[in-house]
Structure formats: C-alpha cells, structure tokens
Structure 1
Amino acid sequence: MASKRALAGKLSVVAGFENPQLGLEQYPTPPDLAAHVIHLADLQGDIAGRTVIDLGAGTGMLTLGAALRGPARVVGVEVDRSAIETARKNQNRVGTTTAIHWIQADGGRVPLQLSEPTTVVMNPPFGAQNGSHGADKRFLKSAAELSDVSYSIHNAGSQSFIESFAGDHGGTVTHAFEAAFEAPKQFAHQTTDRKELSTEVYRIVWST
C-alpha cells in the first residue's frame, strides 16, 4: 500500500472548479484531507475490491483518490455538468486505470440500486447557504441507502447530529476525527485568499 503522503502527491494535480457555484457550496476538498480519508478507508478494508461511490464528487478528488487504491469500480455522482467535465480531465491527469463511472445526479437523490459491498465517500454541502439547507441530511440518507459503510466530512460541532442521524437510520459511528479544511478564495463575499475551516470526518457502519 502506498503511503498517505504519496497519495496526496498524486492528488495534487487535480484541478478545482472553473466556475464554482455558491449555492452548491463547491469548495474543493484539499488533497491532504482527501488522502487522509481514503487512506483510513483503505486501512479499514473499505476500498480494495469494493464499489466506492463519491456523492457530490465535484471535480473528482475523493473519487480519484479511491480509484488509486484498488477498488472494483468507482462511481462519481455530481449534479454539475461542468464539474464532471473537469473531473474527466482530472482522471486523465491522475492516470488511474480503475473503472470510473461519472453520473450527473443530485447526491441526495441517487438513481442507483446496488447489491455488492459498497463504500460511500463524500464531502457533502454543509447546508450553510440558502438553497443547501438540509443537504447534509439528504446525502447521509443516500449513504445509508446505498452503502454498508461511509466516510463523510462535516462542519465542526456536528457530532451530536451525526450520531443521532446514524442511530435513527441503522448506523453506528465507529471513527471520528477533526480535520483542517483549507478553502481557497472562490466567491466575492470571501475577504481573504484562503480560509481554514474546522471540519470533522466520520466513519459510519450502516446495517444491511
């Protein structure tokens, strides 16, 4: 297994959004954080030989990270067609040979039915913008329906919400850790070139 640092290096070539949409909270997942999440999932046996679905795939950071760790296949679900086009270019940049299927769809309403062992990875909208309120709940509901284990990134202070939601939907939080999320300036309301967000990552095992 390649190191987490090596994985982050390979993901450093992944381009971000050309025209990010504030309503979709399109902040690119940093390569170091994506590598941390995928490396942990790999160590837990949640990547190799399995189907991995990235909900709200954006330009493909988590999708491509998973593809580099030997899954059976990866599915990137993203509602923004422009982001999918960039993700396809990123796939060529990274150079993975894993089968990747890109689906244009809302990560909270995914048109898939799967029977094989499946892992969801996602950096869902935090629900901080008008039009995105409750998006994190919809994405978690999709994860519960599609997978037997998921990894997701959320705003700091989400522990009680995540544990309550998981419990109500047959899930159990097995891992949780804090993570810095460095967001580059992309929107007019941002006053600094970069902002470090406090986030939390959760691994949830869902009953099947």
Structure 2
Amino acid sequence: MSGPSRRTLARALEALADFSDPSAALEQYLTPPEIAAHICHQARMQDDLAGWVVDLGTGTGMLAIGASLAGADRVVGIDVDRDALGLAEANAERIDEAGRDGLLEWVRGDATRPPLSVDDTDVTVVSNPPFGAQRGNRHADREFLETAQSIADVSYTIHNEGSQAFVESFAADEGGNVTHAFRAEFPIAKRFEFHTDAKRTLEAEVFRIEW
C-alpha cells in the first residue's frame, strides 16, 4: 500500500509546535512524533484510514495530522480546550498537505462525549488519553476507551506502562479484541512545577483494538 514511510511521517510531525502553556489538569503533553508516526503508519498498513479517523483529545493535533498525512480520507480532531484546537489548527497549517481538500476538521467538545454523528460510517479512533496521573483524574483513559468502543470499528490508544491486562480485559468485556500491542518511549520535558526532573522518559503501551 503506497504512502509515506514511518520515518517520513515522523520527520514531518517533528515540525509541530508544543503547548506554550499546558494544563496539568488536562494532562496536556506533546504526543511524541515517533509514536504518532508508528500509529498512523500501522493504521495505513491495516487499511484503517478508509473511513473517518477521530482523534479524541487531539491536543496539538499530532495524531490527527499524522493520520491525514498517512492518507486518511477524513479526519476530525476533538478537544475540550479552545486554545488546544487553535494550536492544532496552526500546526496543520505548518504542513500544507495535512489540510488538503478540507478533510481535516477541528471540533470543540468533550472527547468522552463527542459531538459527532457517525452512523453507517467506518470509524477509526486514535487517541493519547490522559494517563490518569493527576489527583481526581484516575482511570481517565477508561472513559476514552468507552467512547472508542461506542463509536469506532477500530481504535489505537496510548496508555501508561502496565496497562495491558486492563486494556485486554476491558476490550474483552465489551466484545472487542486487542490485535496489536507495542511498547514506546514517551519523553516528557519539565513543564509543571511538580516536575522534579528536567526531562524524564515514561514507558508507554499502544494498543490496536477491533470493536
């Protein structure tokens, strides 16, 4: 299947800007270009880009733009934060091909209750949900999985290390099946006062689920 290589995607996504004033409550971190490229390349290889691609909690637009560059027919990025959507749109403008033919759209709304009507449409969800690291935000990734299950045929989601048993159990309970899983490094620069290291690397896990 023709399309940009994973390496080409990653190089293009490296041009995207990070949050200038990220929200700790929303766990706003830049999705690493390498992880986004891996997800979007895998989605293309699995023929998961033919319908709608919905990026839940799009943030900087990294996954949505990556999916568009990888050849998705239509991409919608959803975020509750107006400033994040402005950043995502600006990032898309940095890469002209990502906004081709008006097929890349940005929608303000709660990613766990997306304002979309996707009946009779093939949907692939891509998402880097909150890991639930902040107090009061535990298991935030579960809500994103619940949304993916409700609207998607296939989903690609990023989770904290050690999530495989939870994700596989959740998918099985909802009639889904984890078909692919891989580990990925998630570098995080010091962005908030509670960060004690100039930079640290989290081990993350990515799962493809057929619903």
Following superposition, the deviation at residue 195 of structure 1 comes to 1.1
Q: Deviations over 1:18-60 (max 9, x none)?
A: 211111111110111110111111111111x321000010010
CA distance in 2, matches of 1:37, 1:184: 22
Question: How much is the aligned-residue C-alpha RMSD, in angstroms?
Answer: 1.0
Say if 2:23 is the partner of 1:21. Answer: yes
Match of 1:35 in 2: 37
Say if 2:136 is the partner of 1:126. Answer: no
Say if 2:60 is the partner of 1:59. Answer: yes
SS for the counterpart of 1:154 is strand
Tell me if structure 1 keeps the 8 A contact 2:44–2:71. Answer: no
Following superposition, the deviation at residue 183 of structure 1 comes to 1.2
Query: What amino acid does structure 1 have at the position aligned with 2:205?
Result: E
Aligned to 2:112, which of 88, 96, 108? Answer: 108
SS for the counterpart of 1:27 is coil
Match of 2:167 in 1: 162
Following superposition, the deviation at residue 131 of structure 1 comes to 3.1
Tell me if structure 1 keeps the 8 A contact 2:7–2:37. Answer: yes
SS for the counterpart of 1:161 is helix
Aligned to 1:183, which of 177, 188, 197? Answer: 188
Match of 1:195 in 2: 200
Match of 1:12 in 2: 14
Q: Deviations over 1:56-96 (max 9, x none)?
A: 10010000000112222100011111111011100100112
Following superposition, the deviation at residue 134 of structure 1 comes to 2.6
Match of 1:50 in 2: 51
Say if 2:87 is the partner of 1:86. Answer: yes
Say if 2:175 is the partner of 1:173. Answer: no
Aligned length: 205
Say if 2:144 is the partner of 1:139. Answer: yes
Tell me if structure 2 keeps the 8 A contact 1:67–1:100. Answer: yes
Structure 1 runs of 4+ aligned residues shifted over 4 Å read none
Query: What amino acid does structure 2 have at the position aligned with 1:16?
Result: D
Identity %: 49
CA distance in 1, matches of 2:66, 2:107: 17
SS for the counterpart of 1:22 is coil
Aligned to 1:151, which of 147, 152, 156? Answer: 156
TM-score, length basis structure 2: 0.94
